[in-house]
Structure 1
Amino acid sequence: MAKIIPFKAVLPTADKVALVTTRSYDEYSATELASWLDFNPFSFLHIMSPAYINQQKIGINERFKMVANKYNDFKRDGILVKQDKPAMYLYKIETKKNVFVGIMAGTSVADYQGNQIKKHENTLEYRVNTLKDYFKITQFNTEPVLMMYPENDALQQWISDKQKTTPLYDFSTTNREKHTLWSINSQEEIDFITNLFDSFENLYIADGHHRSASAHLLHQENTDSSNHKLDYFMSFLISENNIKINEYNRLVHDLNNHSIPDFLSLLDKDFVVIKRDEQIWKPTQKFEFGMYLEGNFYSLQLKEIPNSTNKLETLDAQLLYDKILNPILGIEDLRTDSRIDYIPGNKSLLEMIDKIDNGAFKIGFNLFPASIEEIKYLADNDLTMPPKSTYIEPKFRNGLIIYEL
């Protein structure tokens, strides 16, 4: 059973919602960030980066305090408003290629601790601790954990009917996305949804393992607290059939002192290597890899399909590491090795080509995306994917819905 709750959110005023909300802070280049901060006084980026010019000169905890102060300034000025009534929210994101619809609600730290909420990625201790300190000092979170639930006809019908009602917000953004938000605040609707989720045996984290782990750590540090808001963390709950799983493509700076003929010869042990005439080539099935080297694309087809029921051993990202990245190219730690970098699969392969053609990297590999079944198998069996195995959509607008701690 999965416990979810409504909560008293903080929301932008309707007239400023398109001005306030932003992409994830990490997605902005320094130049783009400076431009947004300069011309848009309502941008949530002012909260996320309150000391942009001098942020390298202050400590991280001091910066977090400045985030909290700027957040309170936005509330004082009426740009952000605390809602009087607990609610859940139906949230629809329309991109150029996909439509995502899910429910924003509070999910239970106890469910996370008890493994009713399943995980498939390892977390880095320093990142979990940093996020925990951020939540503790700022006292808010605006980036939900993306969580999957099993397809359910009754819930899907309710979601379809709800979209026919008048939304709370309906706005477009400069990156050509449309965002629509409906408030779910009647007791009848809330009871219907919570009872449905109570019937689900498990939920699965799709994206946000560090945020959920940080919420858990903060809760552990405050077990004697009467602040029950720490018992939950904000999540975007979406049907497992409605998420988009992209691959993460790999770029490596060098061939680990191998010549190109020697490198291709080493690949021949495990792969059928075919030089492709296409300007851009992508794998079309599992156990197939794309490779870009010296201005040419190659397909790498695994000669021997692993005979294993353990889906970690048959995961394409793991096979690429086991067969090429580690034994041939000498990549040890996928998280920390400075010789490797990653490009999410929602970006054009032209970006990978450009980075290699201009000499920044020597070789690139593109993968076939992992499946929902692989993610759930790993989570159910307490196994974890290699770093940067999946880039999962949707992504959310910062400052649209805020969960206060």
Structure 2
Amino acid sequence: MVKISTFAGYLANKDNLDKIISPPYDVCTVKEAREETGDNEMYYFHIEKPGIDLPDTATKEEVALKGKANLLNFIEKGYLVKDDAERVYIYSQQMGDHVQYGIVCLSSIDDYANNKIKRHEHTLPETELERTNLCDIQCANASPVFFSFKGGDDIKSKVAEIIQSEPYGRTTTQDKVIHTLWRCTVEDSTYLVKAFEEIESTYIADGHHRSAAAYNVGVRRRQRAIEQGVDVTGEEDFNFFLTVIFPESECMILDYNRLLNTLNDMTEDEFIEKLSTNFTLEEIKGDNVKPTAKGHISLYIKEKWFDMQVKPELMNTENPAKNLDYNVLTDFC
């Protein structure tokens, strides 16, 4: 059973969606974010990457405090508007012909602790601490963690009904992705919360550091409450964090590319021979060089494309996460 919850979100003012929406915080440096933001005081990087508004010598605490001040400023100026009811939301991304619909909701830190929220990456302690302190000082989950789930035909059917209604807002970003948000009715929200009780697990697709940070903040605040003699029920806000949960069947798997800048003094033929210890390699004929199925990796070398598959006897029968393609690439190349 997965536990999700409704919440009354702060929504980007629909009159300024194109000015507010920004890329994820972790796809660029502070310098790049500063240049992209320019003089746009509504750009969400002011909240997600508040270092853009400070000298590069600013401490991490100063950056977090600036993020809190910027968030309060966005609310005061009406760039972010508080919803009038607790609910869940439907969020879609359209990339070309592909559309995926996710449920924006709160997920439980207890599910994270009990491994109902599945992880497949380790976190960097310094990055995790930085996100933890920003979340704690800012008193906000500034962006959702990207989850996926298996099954849930009733959930997908309900979402299909909801998206027939008028959306709250829609905007297209520079990368030509169309973003749309629907506010669910209280009744539909209750239905979806109940439906997720039948889902066994959710899976972190992107956002391991944000998930860990939210968990850390929840544990901190739970401990503070207990030390102050407050009875903790498990339903307090700090027990949950912001997520968007997409059906596995709708998720688009994007390329995960690596570039080798050295073959460690091997020739190309020696490198291929070394790979053949753990992989079967077959030259790809034609123009369709992208992997077409799980377990396939495309390699470009000697001005040719090869399809690589790890040998079956090397697959991990105890830890399925080790069989993810990027882990296979790391462990056996």
One-letter amino acid of the counterpart of residue 46, structure 1: H
In the TM superposition, 1:193-212 aligns within 5 A as 193-212=192-211
Residue in structure 1 matched with residue 6 of structure 2 by the alignment = 6
Task: Say if 2:6 and 2:86, in contact at 8 Å, map to a contact too.
Answer: yes
Q: Partners in 2 of 1:84 and 1:36 — Cα distance? A: 33
In the TM superposition, 1:68-79 aligns within 5 A as 68-79=68-79
Give the stretch that moved more between structures: 58-67 or 119-128: 119-128
Using a 3 Å threshold, how does the CA distance of structure 1 residues 268 and 279 change in structure 2: closer, same or farther?
Answer: same
| Number of residue equivalences | 322
User: Structure 1 residue 259 and structure 2 residue 258: aligned?
Assistant: no
Helix, strand or coil: the match of 2:205? Answer: strand
User: Structure 1 residue 238 and structure 2 residue 238: aligned?
Assistant: no
Using a 3 Å threshold, how does the CA distance of structure 1 residues 281 and 297 change in structure 2: closer, same or farther?
Answer: farther
Tell me the alpha carbon deviations over residues 117-138 of structure 1, each in whole angstroms, 9 at most, x when there is no partner.
Answer: 2222222222221111010111
Task: Say if 1:117 and 1:205, in contact at 8 Å, map to a contact too.
Answer: yes
Residue in structure 2 matched with residue 306 of structure 1 by the alignment = 313
One-letter amino acid of the counterpart of residue 270, structure 2: D
Task: Say if 2:310 and 2:328, in contact at 8 Å, map to a contact too.
Answer: no
Q: Partners in 2 of 1:303 and 1:114 — Cα distance? A: 32
RMSD, matched Cα: 2.8
One-letter amino acid of the counterpart of residue 20, structure 1: I
Q: Partners in 2 of 1:16 and 1:24 — Cα distance? A: 18
Task: Say if 1:25 and 1:48, in contact at 8 Å, map to a contact too.
Answer: yes
Q: Partners in 2 of 1:50 and 1:119 — Cα distance? A: 28
Give the CA deviation at 1:251: 1.7
In the TM superposition, 1:217-232 aligns within 5 A as 217-223=216-222, 224-225=224-225, 228-232=236-240
User: Structure 1 residue 138 and structure 2 residue 145: aligned?
Assistant: no
Q: Partners in 2 of 1:30 and 1:130 — Cα distance? A: 14
Task: Say if 1:290 and 1:297, in contact at 8 Å, map to a contact too.
Answer: no
In the TM superposition, 1:7-86 aligns within 5 A as 7-28=7-28, 33-52=33-52, 54-86=54-86
Using a 3 Å threshold, how does the CA distance of structure 1 residues 191 and 55 change in structure 2: closer, same or farther?
Answer: same
The structure, 1 or 2, with the larger RCO (C-alpha pairs under 8 Å, 6+ apart) is 1
Tell me the alpha carbon deviations over residues 331-386 of structure 1, each in whole angstroms, 9 at most, x when there is no partner.
Answer: xxxxxxxxxxxxxxxxxxxxxxxxxxxxxxxxxxxxxxxxxxxxxxxxxxxxxxxx
User: Structure 1 residue 290 and structure 2 residue 289: aligned?
Assistant: no
One-letter amino acid of the counterpart of residue 202, structure 1: S
One-letter amino acid of the counterpart of residue 164, structure 2: K
TM-score (norm 1): 0.71
Give the CA deviation at 1:286: 5.0
Give the CA deviation at 1:23: 1.2
Task: Say if 2:100 and 2:251, in contact at 8 Å, map to a contact too.
Answer: yes
Q: Flag structure 1 segments of 5+ consecutive residues without an equivalent.
A: 325-405
Give the stretch that moved more between structures: 48-57 or 114-123: 48-57
Give the CA deviation at 1:12: 1.9
Helix, strand or coil: the match of 2:165? Answer: coil
One-letter amino acid of the counterpart of residue 247, structure 2: S
One-letter amino acid of the counterpart of residue 176, structure 1: K
Once the two structures are aligned, what percentage of the paired residues are identical?
A: 25
One-letter amino acid of the counterpart of residue 299, structure 1: F
Residue in structure 2 matched with residue 388 of structure 1 by the alignment = none
Task: Say if 2:22 and 2:43, in contact at 8 Å, map to a contact too.
Answer: yes
Using a 3 Å threshold, how does the CA distance of structure 1 residues 282 and 2 change in structure 2: closer, same or farther?
Answer: closer
One-letter amino acid of the counterpart of residue 190, structure 2: D
Give the CA deviation at 1:278: 5.9
Task: Say if 1:281 and 1:297, in contact at 8 Å, map to a contact too.
Answer: no
Tell me the alpha carbon deviations over residues 173-222 of structure 1, each in whole angstroms, 9 at most, x when there is no partner.
Answer: 33222222111242x22221111112223222222222111111111112
Using a 3 Å threshold, how does the CA distance of structure 1 residues 323 and 185 change in structure 2: closer, same or farther?
Answer: closer
Tell me the alpha carbon deviations over residues 218-260 of structure 1, each in whole angstroms, 9 at most, x when there is no partner.
Answer: 1111224269211100111221211122342222221112233
Helix, strand or coil: the match of 1:26? Answer: helix
Q: Flag structure 2 segments of 5+ consecutive residues without an equivalent.
A: none
Using a 3 Å threshold, how does the CA distance of structure 1 residues 163 and 61 change in structure 2: closer, same or farther?
Answer: same
Task: Say if 2:120 and 2:321, in contact at 8 Å, map to a contact too.
Answer: no
Using a 3 Å threshold, how does the CA distance of structure 1 residues 278 and 314 change in structure 2: closer, same or farther?
Answer: same
One-letter amino acid of the counterpart of residue 116, structure 2: Q
Q: Partners in 1 of 2:332 and 2:99 — Cα distance? A: 36
Task: Say if 2:290 and 2:298, in contact at 8 Å, map to a contact too.
Answer: yes
Residue in structure 2 matched with residue 118 of structure 1 by the alignment = 118
Tell me the alpha carbon deviations over residues 95-126 of structure 1, each in whole angstroms, 9 at most, x when there is no partner.
Answer: 22420111111111112212222222222222
Q: Partners in 2 of 1:280 and 1:172 — Cα distance? A: 29
Q: Partners in 1 of 2:139 and 2:332 — Cα distance? A: 46
Q: Partners in 2 of 1:131 and 1:289 — Cα distance? A: 33
Using a 3 Å threshold, how does the CA distance of structure 1 residues 136 and 276 change in structure 2: closer, same or farther?
Answer: same
Give the CA deviation at 1:144: 0.8
